[in-house]
Amino acid sequence: MRVVVVGGGSWGSVFAAFVAERGHEVTLACRDPMQALAIAETGRNPRYVRDADLSAVSATTVEDAPVADAELVCLAVPSGAFGEVARALPGTAPVLSLAKGLDPSTGQRLSTAVRRRPVAVLSGPNHAEEIAAGLPAAAVIASEDEELGLRLQKELMSPRFRIYVNTDVVGVELCAATKNVIALAAGAVDGLGVGDNAKAAIITRGLAEMARLGEAAGGRPETFSGLAGMGDLVVTCWSRHSRNRRAGELIARGASPEEAVAEIAMAVEGLTTAPILRDLARGLEVELPITEAVCQILSGASLTELASGLMGRKPTGE
C-alpha cells in the first residue's frame, strides 16, 4: 500500500517505521520542515524515539505529502489538532486514527471528524519506545467497515505486532480517552507515595468508570475488558514510558500541569481530555468520580483532600 502517516511525534515515527518494515511505501508527514529534512538525511527522528529506523520511510512536510494519492492515511496527531487535520485531507483514502483523546472543539470522539471516507481506529497497549525496540505487542483495529478492518489486519499484522479486529469504534475510542485520565490519577498515587494497593484500586475503579461511560454511549461491554480497555489502561497507569502517569506524579509532587508538560516535552493527552470527558459523562448522566477529582486537581484543588473524599464516598456495591 501507499501509506501516509501524518504526525512526526514518537508514535507517528515508530508506526511509520513499522509499516515500512511490512513492505509498504510509507511517507511520514511532519509539521516542521527542519524535522522532515533531518529524518530524510539521517533516517532518524532527531526529537523522538531516536532508536526508530526511518531509513525506509520518505519524510516530508504535511503540505508536500502525497496524501491525495495514498491508499491509507494514518493520523498520529494530538487530539487538539485532529479535527482540523482530518477535515483538510485531500483524496478519498481510508483513515486510520492512531490518536487517543476527544476533540476539544466539539467534545466528540475523534473519528467523527473524518468525513466522506472509511475510518478505522487503532488502539491498545502500544508504547512507541517498546515497539521501536522490537518488543512484542498487540492492538485492536476497530471499524464499522468490517472489510476495511480485516484488510488492515492482514496488511499490518506481524509476528511481533498482533492485531485483533472488531466493529466497536465507540467503545475503543472512549477507552483510549478515559485511560489517559485515569493514568493521571494513578501517577498522582505514585507521587503521593501511598502504595500499590491504592494504585490498584484507582486502576480497577477507573476501569469501572470506563465501562459505565462506554456502555452509556453505545459501546460493547467486552471492549472494556480487551486490549483497548483493560490492556491499555494497565500499561498507561504502570509504565515508565507513560506520559500521563508521569504527569500525574509530577503534579502530585507540586508541579503545575504546565510545568509537568514542559518537563515531559511531549503531549499529555489526559490533561486535554479530562474536562471534555467529564462534560460528556455529565451529559449522559454517568458518574465518574475519579475523572471529576482529576479535573478538580487540574483546577488547583488539594490532592490530599480529594483523595480523602474519594475514600469517604457513600458505601455502595461493586
Residue 248 CB neighbour total at 10 angstroms: 33
- Please tell me which residue in 100, 179, 199, 314 is annotated as part of the active site: 179
- Name 28's bridge partners: 5, 59
- Name 44's bridge partners: none
Q: What is the DSSP string of 31-53?
A: S-HHHHHHHHHHSS-SSS-TTS-
Separation in Å, CA 164 to CA 158, 175, 177, 226, 306: 12, 16, 19, 10, 38
Helical packing angle, 257-264 and 243-252, nearest 10°: 130
Of all helices (H) and strands (E), which one includes residue 117? none
* 239/197 Cα distance (integer angstroms): 17
Q: How many CA atoms lie within 13 A of 306 on its CB side?
A: 20
Residue 125: which of 212, 27, 248, 245 has the closest Cα? 245
Residue with cell 500499561: 235
Q: Has 199 been annotated as catalytic?
A: no
Evaluated on CA atoms 82, 164, 23, 48, the torsion sign reads: positive
Helix ranges (H only) for the chain are 10-21, 33-42, 79-87, 128-132, 146-156, 169-192, 196-216, 221-224, 232-238, 243-252, 257-264, 269-283, 289-298, 303-311
The one-character DSSP state at 75 is E
* 152/147 Cα distance (integer angstroms): 9
Report the catalytic residues. 179
